[in-house]
Structure 1
Amino acid sequence: MRTGQTQLFIPGPTNVPEVVRQAMNVAQQDMRAHDFGDLTLPIFADLKTLFRCETGRVMLFPGSGTAAWEAAITNTLNTGDRILIARHGQFSTLWAQMAERLGLVVEAIDLAWGAACPVNEIARRLGADREGAIKAVFVTHNETATGVTSDVAGVRRALDECFHDALLFVDGVSSIGSLDFRMEEWGVDLAVAGTQKGLMCPAGLGILGVSDKAMAASRTATMRRAYFDFADMAAMNAVGQFPYTPPTPLLHGLRRALDRILREEGLDAVIARHRRLAEAVRRGVAAMGLEIVAEHHSICSDTVTAIRVPEGVDARDVIRIAYDEFNTSLGSGLGPLNGRVFRIGHLGDLNEAMVLTALSVAELALVRAGADLRFGAGVGAAQAHFAAQRGTAPRMQIAAE
């Protein structure tokens, strides 16, 4: 029998705050009523603020971030178009696979899992593309499988310095609403997010930021689409409605989540909180004597940390023990990292006490799985970080032998 609260430390879906859950407990309503826009139009406006998107628009597609991926591709590109993408983790790899399945020619830059998007190599290839064969560059802003954040602004600079007209696609599913993301300033044309991560809602809505340039491309693109057509969505969104049935309770939850982010805590404070909590996780992992997957501290993600287990320990055992014995979900290693890595998701509705819980359970599960480490080492390092952040220098750190 399980007692107490289940602890969720995966990088999505994330914890849903009680006020958001309560906001979704609404009766069904008429989505064609003349006042439905009273709910939806402010949501569209606030999502533009969240994306820092001034001149473009933000669309909501029932589905996940993957649905928004497909909408972005099918509305702006043509079968046979060449795209440039760095593959350096599970989600960048899946995005490339989708592009191939939809009939695009994928020019891939394959990197070690743990590396960031290679801005210099992208610049080199764009500079060599004299004929403009590359129609889009795909960047995974935050690779959830490896805990790595890439330099989107750097890719935009590469495009501009090469005078290249390719569209810039960005997967921001595990970054938007948690990390610094600037769609307008970085010249992003298609930005993909979902409700189930930094937005602290259940899965069910794919969110897509669309620049004016991308909207123009959608009017001449010939790839087949129906449900995901931008023209249908834009026409109905203008009056606060959708071309098909939206998940109305989820819209109410999103409304409440946006209020928390933009008005109660503030977007800059949300970003700073994620940075503070992530640094505590990383210091805790280092104090345990473990390594992370990210190749350098400068590219570490502030929403998820991928942690290598010691030699002789199976990460799947760590995850199973945490779940079965301590009622705690840790993220699994994906693809070639399966069995070698576990992940701690630290995004969305999270605070210092929750981070300490994640580290303490990770220590317990690691030791139960055969790791040789000191109890309290990781927790103590995180505590020291939090104390210093609040201006309290601890006299000593105690770790049980």
Structure 2
Amino acid sequence: MQLKNYSFLPLAIAIATGALVPGAASFAAAHAAKPAAQKKSAAVEPAPAPLAGQTAVAGGPPALAAKAWLLMDFDSGEVLASANPDEPLPPASLTKMMTSFLVEQALRSGKLKKDDLVPVSQYAWCRGSGTESCMYLPLNSQATVIDILRGIIVQSGNDASKAIAEHMAGSEEGFAKLMNAEAQRLGMTHTHFVNATGLPDPDHKSSARDLAILARAIIRDSSDYYPIYAEREFKYNNIKQGNRNALLYTDPTVDGLKTGHTQEAGYCLVTSSKRNGMRLITVMLNTNSAQARADQTRTLLGWGYANFEKANPIEPTAVVATPKVTFGKADTVAAGLGAPWTVTVPRGQKVSTSVQVQPGLEAPVAKGAVIGKIVAESNGKPVGEAPLVAQADVERAGFMLRLWQRVTGLFGK
């Protein structure tokens, strides 16, 4: 069925109120929301009890009305605060972060091209029932990969997700195997995907920590495509839909990532924000409304930026160690950082460092070679590490000098 000349009211209003504003065309009103469970948003579910979490900050983090939540520092991947971070829960459309990530990586590697055409099968097609979020790809049509990617990220299209799954792996089941392999590679140890959309399945689970790991990978490894996650709307098939992430409309520091909702999962949100050079990632799982997931995320971001700061454990030009080098024309080599290094720590806490040099360091040693690591600690807890790098070349000694070094070494001289 070809649908034309319909448009959606700004979804920011829909997000704030939990329902679309009356007066839109009946078809648009039926399809601007997520699956059928979302259509009943007037009957708001009871809010989960406020859930306190763990953190290194004195006084603890705020208690948030969600089943699980997490705050992560993007640069280091350190979890700054969390509650139930490893409990496997239904992720709803947060699943599509993995779907979009696989598309982005295929584009980066050349396996896909932006203008490749993706067919829309009977299986992928949304039938216009209003029971799921759709990009509204016409049946038996074709769409470019880049349009499909926007349809997944901005419009949360189940049809777009299924179509690209079939295109890349032959079937959604085959694509789920790719998703799980990538999850394993990233270290998502409490995740198992069954489909590309997040539609309910008893075996389809992920955790707050795992979803933060995935969000970090998207920001880090998909920089060419990450700006799509901040786009507020996308028009396809003459139908314009808005991004359901309410914070994109209210917080200029937020630039992603994804919302999700089913009856089983509740209202979920993964967000990234960058302020004053520090990027934080939040995960909010199983809140009771679209408004609640936005409000709880705002609270967590505000608390995070108020209680953590960036610190430079060591100046980039500082020599932090002069480890011994055997069989070299020089006995030692100056070592320090290879690049500027920052860590995220609770405000006001001092940072200490320790150096670990790889054992048995032998010449030749090239300037810039990694010869160990520097570990930063705050309040007795590791908060980051950086490579220890040789600051100069150490050439290998000639035969006679090496022989002399061996002999003196035997006698402890």
TM-score category of the 2 structures, normalised to the smaller one: under 0.3
TM-score, normalised relative to structure 2: 0.23
Larger radius of gyration: 2
Higher share in helix? 1
Higher share in strand? 2
- Which structure has more RCO (C-alpha within 8 Å, separation ≥ 6)? 1
